[in-house]
Structure 1
Amino acid sequence: MRIAMVSEHASPLAALGGEDAGGQNVHVAALAAALARRGHDVAVYTRRDDPDLPEQVEMLPGVRVVHVPAGPAQVLPKDHLLPYMPEFGRWLAQRWAGADRPDVVHSHFWMSGLAALEAAEQVPVPLVHTFHALGTVKRRHQGAKDTSPAGRVAAETRVATEADLVVATCSDEVTELEAMGIDRSRVRVVPCGVDVQLFSPDGEAHPPPGDQPFRLLSIGRLVERKGVETVVAALPLLPDVELLVAGGPDQSHIRTDPEARRLHALAEELGVENRVRFVGSVPRTGVPALIRSADIVVATPWYEPFGIVPLEAAACGRPLVGSAVGGLLDSVEDGRTGSLVPPREPDALAAAITRLLVDPEVRARYGEAARARAEDRFSWERVAAATEAAYAEVSVARTTTSRKAATA
C-alpha cells in the first residue's frame, strides 16, 4: 500500500525539545517506520522550514520525508501556519496527480487535515485523520491563553465530517468528538505507541540516586498545562522524596526558562528547593535510563490529548501516578499499573504517591503489569496493525462506493 502521511508542522526528522516539537513528531516517525516494516511504502509530507532542506529525504527503507514548499522557508510557530495550508494542499494535489498518487492519506493535526482536504478535492483519495489535540479542549483549559487561530473548532468539525474516517488516540477524544456533533460510527480508536525495545526495564539507570531515599520523575515540555506545579506543591507532604524535572532547554540554560523559573520560585516558597532538580532537555536515547532511575514517574497535566510519557514509563516497568484526564484514562490502569488522581490536587497526588512508596511489593507488581500491558497493547507493531486495518476499511468503502456509482 502507498501511504501518504501529512504532518504540516511535525516533521519526523525534527529533534525533540523545540517549542512545537514533541509527541506528534515521535508518533509520525514511529508509525511510518512500523508501517514500512509491514511492507508499505510511506511518504511523509511536512512543510519546508529551511531553504537548505532537500525536497526529499529517505528517513529509512520504505519511508520518505517530502518537504513541501508552503509559506516562507523558515521555522514558524504552528499557530502561524494556517494561511499556508491552501498552498500546501495545492502542492500535494499536483504531486498526487502523477506517479506519487497514494492509496490512502493519513493527515495529522487539524491544519494538515485542511491541506489534505484541499488536495483530495482535486485528486480523490481515501482520507484518514488523527487530530492529536482538539481546539475545544485547549480552549476550555487555557481560556485567554489559547493561541490557536480563530476558526479552529469550526475547521476541526469540517475535517472530522469530510474525512472518510477519524482515528482517535483515546476514548476521551471520542467523547469530545461526539460533543462536537461527530457521528461515533465515523471514529475508530487507535492509541499512540511506544518503542518497547528502546524503553525497557533492562539497562542502566541514570543519574545515580541523590540524597533522598525515593525519586520522582516528571518529564515533558516545560509548559504550565503539564502541571509540574502540582508535583512541586505535593513535596512538603513527601519528606523523603526528591523530584527530577526533565524537559525544556539544555541544563546550562534552564535557569532562563520562564516555566523553570516559576517552578523554582514555588519550590523556594514551599521550602523544598533542595529536593527539586531541573535536568533540562534529555536526548531521546537517554530517556529510558532516566525513567529507570525513578521509583515512580509522575504526569499531572491539566489535560492531555494522549501523552507518551505514561507509555514510556510503563515500558520501562515503572508505575505512574498521574492526572485522571485525556489519554491517561486509557494508558494507565488505575490500581494495577499506576494510580490516577484529580488534576491540580497536590494532597490527592501526595496520598497516592505515599501509598506506593511505603509498599515496594506493590510498586514492583505495578511495574511488571505496566510492562506487560505496554507490550500487549501499545507496541508500535500493534498500533501499526490497527492503523493498517483503518486504512483497509476506508479503501474498501471507497472502492465499493465507486463501483456502485459506476453501475448506477
Structure 2
Amino acid sequence: MVTHGGYPYAKGESRLWCERLVHGLARHQFDVYAASSGPEQERSGLLPLPPHARLAATASPWAPPEDGTAPGRRGRRRAAGLLAELLRAVCADDGTRPGGPAHGADGFDEALYGLAELARTHGGLPAALRSEPALRAVESACRAPGSHRALRDATAADLLRAADALEHALRPLSFDWYQGGALDAADLCHAVSGGPGALPGLVAKRFCGVPLLVTEYGVQVRTHHLAARRDGRGPAVRALLAAFHRRLAREVYTQAALVTSGNAHARRWQEQCGADRTRLRTVHPGMAAERFAAVGEGPEGEERTLVWVGRPEPGKDLVALLHAFAEVRKTEPAARLRLFTTPPQGGRGDGPADAYLAQCRALAAQLFPDEADGAHAVGDNPVSFEEIGSPEAPEPADAYAAGCLVVHSSVVEGFPATLVEAMLCGRATVSTDAGAVVEAIGGTGLVVPPRNPRALADACLALLRDPERRARLGAAARARALELFTAEQNLTAFGGLYLELISHSPVRRAAEAVDAAGDPVPFAHPAESRLPGRWNGAGHVPAWASGPDTAPAKEVHP
C-alpha cells in the first residue's frame, strides 16, 4: 500500500479508511510505503500496525532534497532533455480533449520513466531538476509555438516557481522503494491517491511488472484546480501545473489495472481525464455505523431544532444557511439552529477557516440579535456555534441527536460524509445539490439548488411542519446508509478487487524462493508463517518438503 499524506500517520484525510482496510483484511499481508505531508504530521507519530502489516519505508517529500549525490554535467543535461520532452507534451495539452492523444504518442510517458530510470541509476534527480539546464527547458517549453498564451507571458519569477513545483511533484521518482525485495516484490500495489502520490506505483508497474490499483476518494486533478485558486501563483504557473496534473492523471489511469472512486461524481471526473470506463469501479467510503447505532435506533431529537455539522469553510456556504434560517424564523419563531464545527486543519486562530467562522458568527449576531419574544428570553440566541472533535467536546453522534432535521448547504462537495452520518442516525435531511449529494441520499431527503436561501428555507419548513414525513425519511435514510455506506461493505469490495487483480497476475517469486541453482524452493513461505506467536518461526523448509516438481505457494502481498 502506497500512501501520501495519510495512513499510518496519526493525521491525514485518508487515515481512517486505510486503517480500517488494513485492520479488516487480515488474510492479506500489507507492506505500507508512506510519504508524509509535512513535519507537523511526522511529529504526530505513527499509528500501530496489526501483525499482518509492516511499515516498509517512509519518505519526506516536503524536506530539502538531499540524497547524498550530485549529478554531473552529463546527468544534468540528460535530466533537462527528459524534462523538456515531458513539458512539450504537457504544454501541448490544452485541456479541451478529454481523452488526449493516444498513449505514448506525445512522449510524456517515455520522458517520465526516463527520469525515473535516471533517478534509479545515478541519483541526484531533485538537484538535476533544479539546475540551470532544467530551468532553460521550462522556459523553452513555455515559449514554444502553440503553447498556452498564459505560458508565453511567464516572467522569470514564474519560471522559477514552476520549476520548483515540478521538481516537488516528481520527487517520488527518487524514492528508494523499488529494489532489494521492496515494492518490486509485491503481488499488488495499491496507491490510495492519484497524481504524484501514485508515482511509486507507476514506477513499480513499469520496471517490475507489479499490477497497480489506484483509489481516489478525492480526484487529484479536481483537488489541484480547487487549491490553485488559493495558492497565490500567477496565471502562467497555474496553467502549466494544471496541464501537468491532467497529463499525469491520464498516465496513472492508463497504467492502472483498476481505478476506484468513492462516488459517481468523482468517476465522471476520472472519465473526463482519460480513464477507461471499463477499468473504473465505484467503492463507496465505509462509515463506522456502530458509532451512530444508539441515535439511529432512538427517538427523534429536539423539536424544531436544525443541525449542521462540518468544517467551517466557504465551500460549505454557511452564509446562505444563516439567511435561510432567518426566513425560517419568520414563520417558525421557535426554531433553533445549532452549528457543530470541527476544528480546522493546520492549527487554529489565524487560518482561513477561523476567519470564515468569525465572519459567520458576525453575520449570525447581525441577523439574530438577542431579544425577548414569545419563544426565547433575552440573551438566548436562536443560533449557536459549538465545536466537536476535541476531547472535551461532544461526539458527532450527540450532535446529530440534538435536532430533528439535519441541513447540508454546500456549494462545493465531494462525497458528503457528514450527510451519510446523519443518515446513519436516522435523521431527515435537507441538502443542496452539490457533488455526490444526490447519489448519497437517493430519495431519502429533500434536495434544493445551491446558493438559494429561499428554497433551502422552504424545504426546511416543509419538514419542520410534518413530523410523520420526517420519520419516514429518516428511517429510509438509515436503511440506505446501512446498505451502501458501511465499513463492512467497503472491506468486502476491496477484498474482492485484491483477489480479482492477483488472480489475473503471474506468480511473483521473491529472491529467497529459489536456491543457488535458480530452482524453486517449495514451501519457502508457508501460510502458517503469517500467523502471530510461535508460528512466525515456521518459515524454514523441511527436508521432506523438497522435490523437483513442487512449486512455491503464492503470497498475497498488497
Q: Give the TM-score, by structure 1 length.
A: 0.79
CA RMSD of superposed structures (Å): 3.6
> How many angstroms apart in 2 are the aligned matches of 1:81 and 1:12?
26
- SS of the residue corresponding to residue 274 of structure 2 reads coil
Written as runs of structure 1 = structure 2, the 5 A alignment for 1:129-144 is 129-138=214-223, 144=229
Classify 1:394/1:295 alpha carbon distance in 2 versus 1 (closer, same or farther; 3 Å): same
Which structure is richer in relative contact order (CA contacts within 8 A, separation 6 or more)? 1
1:102 to 150, 168, 186: 186
What is the aligned partner in structure 2 of residue 26 from structure 1?
A: 16
Match for residue 257 of structure 2 among 141, 164, 170: 164
Q: Do the aligned partners of 1:170 and 1:330 also contact (CA within 8 Å) in 2?
A: yes
Match for 2:435 among 299, 318, 326? 326
Structure 1 residues 167 and 349 mapped into 2: Cα distance closer, same or farther (>3 Å)?
same
Question: Which whole-Å CA distance do the structure 1 matches of 2:46 and 2:348 have between them?
Answer: 34
Secondary structure at the aligned position of 2:176 is classed as helix
Residues 318 and 92 of structure 1, relative CA distance in 2, 3 Å threshold:
farther
Give the corresponding residue for 2:318. 228
Following the alignment from structure 2 to structure 1, what is the Cα–Cα distance between the partners of residues 168 and 228? 23
Deviates more, 1:260-269 or 1:351-360: 260-269
Write out aligned runs for 1:1-16 (5 A). 4=1, 6-15=2-11
1:68-217 equivalence runs, <5 A: 68-72=58-62, 83=168, 86-87=171-172, 90-94=175-179, 97-98=181-182, 101-110=185-194, 111-138=196-223, 144-145=229-230, 150=242, 151-202=244-295, 213-217=303-307
Match of 2:457 among 327, 350, 375: 350
Whose strand proportion is higher, 1 or 2?
A: 1
* Cα distance in 2, alignment partners of residues 160 and 117 from structure 1: 10
Aligned residues: 375
How far does residue 270 in structure 1 lie from its aligned partner after superposition? 2.8
Report the Cα offset of residue 88 of structure 1. 6.7
Q: Determine if contact 1:200/1:315 at 8 Å carries over to the other structure.
A: yes
SS at match of 2:479: helix
SS at match of 1:279: strand
Matched ranges for 1:291-330 at <5 A = 291-330=400-439
CA 1:191–1:68: 2 relative to 1, 3 Å: same
- Contact 1:216 1:295 (8 Å CA) reproduced: yes
TM-score w.r.t. structure 2 length? 0.59
Query: What is the distance in 2 between the residues matched to 1:109 and 1:172?
Result: 16
The offset of 1:13, in angstroms, is: 4.1
Segments of 5+ residues of structure 2 without an aligned counterpart are 65-163, 233-237, 330-334, 371-380, 508-558
Report what 1:406 is aligned to.
Answer: none
Q: Deviations over 1:286-344 (max 9, x none)?
A: 1112222222222222222213112211112122222222222221123x2x2222222
Is 1:129–1:167's contact at 8 Å kept on the other side of the alignment? yes
Provide structure 1 residue ranges, at least 5 long, that are not aligned to the other structure: 16-20, 401-408
How far does residue 146 in structure 1 lie from its aligned partner after superposition?
6.3
Report if aligned partners of 1:85, 1:115 keep a CA contact under 8 Å in 2: no
CA contact (8 A) 1:248 1:281 kept: yes
| Residue 324 to residue 72, structure 1, CA distance change in 2 (3 Å) | closer
Q: Would you identify which runs of 4 or more consecutive aligned residues in structure 1 move more than 6 Å?
A: 51-56, 79-82, 139-143, 252-256
Which whole-Å CA distance do the structure 1 matches of 2:207 and 2:215 have between them? 21
> Who wins on radius of gyration, i.e. which is larger?
2
Cα distance in structure 2, aligned partners of 1:141 and 1:267: 27
Match of 1:405 in 2: none
1-structure distance, mates of 2:494, 2:284: 9
CA contact (8 A) 2:9 2:44 kept: no
Q: Does the CA contact (< 8 Å) of 2:305 and 2:336 recur in 1?
A: yes
Shift in alpha-carbon separation, 1:69–1:137, aligned structure 2, 3 A: closer
Report the Cα offset of residue 100 of structure 1.
Answer: 8.4
Return the alpha-carbon distance in structure 2 between the equivalents of residues 86 and 396 of structure 1.
Answer: 32
